[in-house]
Structure formats: structure tokens, C-alpha cells
């Protein structure tokens, strides 16, 4: 699965959680300057995840919400548009 976080971040843990329970692990991630979001690949336990569509990511900025999505990332369905270059 994929995870989209609405800002750049540095992870303090690669585990993602729901209600304090670990439901998955980030395997790869990068900030996308084109869209202004942090993108990650995550291996999740579907049983532990249940019907949740948001996970908690643990970063140097604190706990941030990440939106789960199918892969490959579909930026249109995620309502992400390229940021204007300055």
C-alpha cells in the first residue's frame, strides 16, 4: 500500500500505527517536491488495519496522519496537483 503525508517529514520510527497499535512498516519513502507531500510504501497487516484509511506516522514533527492508498499512486484520485515552481 501507499501512504501520503501532507508535508515533508523525517521519520523517528518506520512503524505506522492505528490507535497505538502497530499495523505496518514503511519500507521506502521520499518527499515529492512536485506535489508537496511525503510518499511512502508500507507493508500493512490487513487484519490489524481493518477498515481504517488513516495511519499515524511518527516523525520529528510529532505524530502525523497518513492517508492509505492503493499503488501505484493515483495523484488525481488523491486530489493532488503539481505545485507551481518558483
User: Which residues lie closer than 8 Å to 11 by C-beta, 6 or more apart?
Assistant: 26, 29, 57, 58, 59, 60
Note the pLDDT of residue 44.
94
Note the pLDDT of residue 84.
85
CATH for the stretch 2-69: 2.40.30.110
Note the pLDDT of residue 77.
92
pLDDT (tens place) for every residue of the chain, 86 residues total:
999 999 999 999 999 999 999 999 999 999 999 999 999 999 998 888 888 999 999 999 999 999 999 999 999 999 999 988 76
The pLDDT tens digits of the residues spanning 69-79 come to: 999 999 999 99
35 touches 75 (CB < 8 A): yes
Amino acid at each position: 500500500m501507499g501512504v501520503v503525508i501532507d508535508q515533508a517529514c523525517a521519520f523517528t520510527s518506520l512503524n505506522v500505527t492505528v490507535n497505538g497499535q502497530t499495523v505496518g512498516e514503511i519500507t521506502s519513502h521520499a518527499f515529492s517536491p512536485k506535489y508537496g507531500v511525503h510518499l511512502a510504501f508500507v507493508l500493512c497487516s490487513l487484519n490489524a488495519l481493518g477498515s481504517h484509511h488513516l495511519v499515524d506516522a511518527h516523525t520529528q514533527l510529532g505524530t502525523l496522519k497518513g492517508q492509505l492508498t492503493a499503488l501505484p499512486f493515483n495523484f488525481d484520485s488523491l486530489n493532488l496537483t503539481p505545485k507551481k515552481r518558483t
